[in-house]
Structure 1
């Protein structure tokens, strides 16, 4: 997934379909997705998996979002509103809760990611990885507590900062691809790898490690539903929103493939070894920009820029991930009736203080558990995999809403229909639902590490179970208040 997965604000009254596509692209895609795919799927072999993922998952996913957005173009709550319109408030609460709670591991990863970006920005090396895990997590904990405090102050300017950081990261990702392909002409004497497209080098080995890593790709291509609040700001919502989703799918596909080829020219295209994988996942993007600077004879200039953009993006996204998903859950009238009353308390800045404390406890527990890691690179790799298990759970509600929409087509009118045949449409929705659920389940497996596998199972279970407990607590509160 990119470093910033937050929706982008716009003051424009009406936006074109191609503007929408670029907005969605900058929120869905990031250079880190290319690095993760290259590291987990043996270099350029990941191209086969990317193509399969796009054809069988991302394209139908995007077009389903297009139909949902076209149908409910006046609903501003995204997937929560879609579930509310097609089912009932209780299920809409669960959709909103899932959207919020899957951000807990994501929040836990932002502090360490931001510190690593700063380390690369100032030191231009992997010094951060040499620190023992207790020092890494202590520093992460301090940063996390500070930004919990920042979130409680309701500092909205950080939203603009996140937008700037996310846009600059998007620009740098595109520039990397263009500059890497141009590098052999600029500096032909530098060392590059030859891309060998023989059958053995492009077809992956379909083993346990392959299937348990596919959640990484599901996580990478998900999130386009975040752009749904902008449906009614598009010039012609019924036709242009789906058109924007199609353009998004094409852009993501092209960047994933070209980005992989660019990395294959820079690193061994057959992939990294198992021993190198953690370091590559954690540092590959920085090393890539450092090498790019060497090709263009500008030293560490590119890695400094990338580190600065990433640090700003990581820390500002940390604040927004604490605040925004919580507001999406607690501001929604259909969800508030199922939430314990203490969590609805707001301070003078409008921040949900007890909700922020709950985020602190849950994410803080994950930060503490990461003490079991062997170092910064191992911790970041672990959190990347955990996020790939948890974050796609929110996509399940997109497919659920689509299935319920197509089951009740006669009750809704849409200017765009992805698949005309009702039965086939429901099948495709169920297919994407099943793919997401299965790959999330497979992703909990950590090869050769039973403790980490257990933790990967327990963490999502605990987080989701809390959502079942909250309505019961609220029911008791309401019953007590009525006495």
Structure 2
């Protein structure tokens, strides 16, 4: 086969990046957390000052370490050393503890919309029963992962693709709806108040946007597989992907504005919580009404979401754990008990650690009043914890540029080392700032959960190497 056929065109990489990065949930969260149409301003500056530099930095890291398959952990290992690489690997795994806790709740919510076709039924269930059901689902999928049975892995890709299609379909159908059904009762768009109020709420919600645009490091292996000169093709690809995402963010927000009056959404804290938990389903429910197909579009969306939530749950239990414990650079700092594998090769004690940590978050939320509040709380907790793994991307980039002459690469974000380091530090500091400010909440329980969870996970990551060191010393 001709090698040129294996090369990736710049526009193909753009679409790969776009489809893995963007989803309808990002549009809903942006609209619900940032006062409706005012989020457009925030989307624009977030993409211009954060996402584009972030993507181009990832491209340079991927180009410098093209033969390494460990991603961020490998980058930190090469630029710093194995001990710091362990902390990077631990952070990547620990971030998934909160993510895992949220997937069961999200899946049950989607199933509820499919069956009952309303928000009220699920939200009126006692929180204790909902969380016990969530725990049961979580334990079942932990058992699936422990037996090496991952039948939903392929479904995860399928569900992710279908959710991407649904988000694009939503925008297209919503803009066509006023032409097809002019008397649909659409909300009036008001662009006069487009500038957000830069208050406490604004800055404490920025972690939602950082969470939405993160994760671009997944495309780093493809930098050196591009057709043509990566120095020219990769930035063109990433900028085009950023343009596609910002267009979807803006038009998706406008489509939401045609459906939901901000005055109603933000009437009270309770109504905002309800929209955060149910807004995506209400959007497709209304879309079905405009086109006279009832709840069909909402049921399709709920089905895609349910499959996506549960399949992601299995993958998130198994894959990050294997990345941490399979890597020889990180496993040397992990207590030997966690390296134990069962007869099918699953890290059984590692899965028990997941059960204890994620299960604790699920059980802690039995004290939260209302199932909708649980979903909103988990959404915010993920926005605090998940972006912490992006910090290691920027750290690796800073260390790469500090030792710039040591690592050969075909592609560089910028030639000037000072400019490169400025963006590296800017993105790292902004990520930390958003994660720390995102911990704040008017609700005391939420702020305790947002603070205690990352602190406990960080402390555990610091303790484990000490335990392993004692074990090695005892054996010696």
**1:16 Cα offset (Å):** 3.1
**1:46 Cα offset (Å):** 0.6
**1:19 Cα offset (Å):** 2.7
Partners in 1 of 2:255 and 2:346 — Cα distance?
Answer: 44
Q: Find 2:65's aligned residue among 72, 89, 97.
A: 72
Map 1:35-434 onto structure 2 (within 5 A). 35-126=28-119, 127-198=121-192, 201-235=193-227, 238-239=230-231, 240-269=233-262, 272-273=266-267, 274-434=269-429
How many residue pairs get aligned? The number is 468
Contact 1:105–1:383 (8 Å) recurs in 2 = yes
Instruction: Spell out, residue by residue over 1:391-438, the C-alpha distance to the aligned partner (whole angstroms, 9 max, x if none).
Output: 000000000011011111101122121121111110110000000001
Partners in 1 of 2:99 and 2:281 — Cα distance?
Answer: 20
Partners in 2 of 1:131 and 1:91 — Cα distance?
Answer: 45
Task: For residue 349 of structure 1, give the secondary structure of its aligned residue in structure 2.
Answer: coil
**1:231 Cα offset (Å):** 4.0
Report runs of 4+ in structure 1 exceeding 6 Å deviation.
none
Partners in 2 of 1:230 and 1:359 — Cα distance?
Answer: 31
Partners in 2 of 1:228 and 1:154 — Cα distance?
Answer: 28
Instruction: Spell out, residue by residue over 1:44-97, the C-alpha distance to the aligned partner (whole angstroms, 9 max, x if none).
Output: 011111111111111111111111112222221111111111110111111111
Task: For residue 142 of structure 1, give the secondary structure of its aligned residue in structure 2.
Answer: helix
Aligned to 2:463: 469
Seen in structure 2, the aligned counterparts of structure 1 residues 118 and 362 have a Cα distance that, compared at 3 Å, is same
Instruction: Spell out, residue by residue over 1:446-476, the C-alpha distance to the aligned partner (whole angstroms, 9 max, x if none).
Output: 12x2232122111110011111111111111
Seen in structure 2, the aligned counterparts of structure 1 residues 15 and 157 have a Cα distance that, compared at 3 Å, is farther
Contact 2:144–2:150 (8 Å) recurs in 1 = no
Seen in structure 2, the aligned counterparts of structure 1 residues 79 and 287 have a Cα distance that, compared at 3 Å, is same
- Unaligned runs of 5+ residues in structure 2 are none
- Unaligned runs of 5+ residues in structure 1 are 1-11
Contact 1:290–1:302 (8 Å) recurs in 2 = yes
TM-score (norm 2): 0.95
**1:241 Cα offset (Å):** 4.2
TM-score (norm 1): 0.94
Seen in structure 2, the aligned counterparts of structure 1 residues 221 and 116 have a Cα distance that, compared at 3 Å, is same
Contact 2:384–2:438 (8 Å) recurs in 1 = yes
Seen in structure 2, the aligned counterparts of structure 1 residues 17 and 75 have a Cα distance that, compared at 3 Å, is farther
